[in-house]
């Protein structure tokens, strides 16, 4: 499934909170597309994604908008977290 979130008219922390909620819904194979304009969100959301181990790409768009494409984590049954 592909999730879309347009946070271009919102300021931090709203896009960060909404992104956290979307991440909880993702299942392996899902994609989440974020559109952001707020400088705080553009800085904080990639940090959150790296901290939680998500794979993502970031693409600049027109008018200072950044698109972030997040790939849901795949659970590996062979690896165990100690």
CATH T-level assignment (fold) for domain 2-71: Translation Initiation Factor IF3 (3.30.110)
Burial class (CB within 10 angstroms; exposed 0-12, middle 13-18, buried 19+) of 27: exposed
pTM of the model: 0.86
Could you tell me the residue ranges of all domains in the chain? 2-71
- If one counts every other C-beta atom within 10 angstroms of the C-beta of residue 59, the result is 9
pLDDT digits (tens, 9 = 90+) for 15-49: 999 999 999 999 999 999 999 999 999 999 999 99
């Amino acid at each position: 499934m592909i999730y879309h979130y347009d946070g271009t008219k919102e300021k931090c922390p709203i896009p960060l909170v909404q992104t956290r909620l979307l991440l909880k819904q993702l299942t392996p194979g899902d994609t989440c597309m974020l559109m952001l304009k707020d400088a705080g969100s553009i800085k904080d959301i990639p940090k959150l994604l790296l901290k939680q181990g998500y794979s993502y790409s970031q693409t600049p768009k027109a008018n200072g908008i950044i698109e972030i494409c997040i790939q849901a984590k795949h659970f590996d049954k062979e690896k165990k977290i100690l």
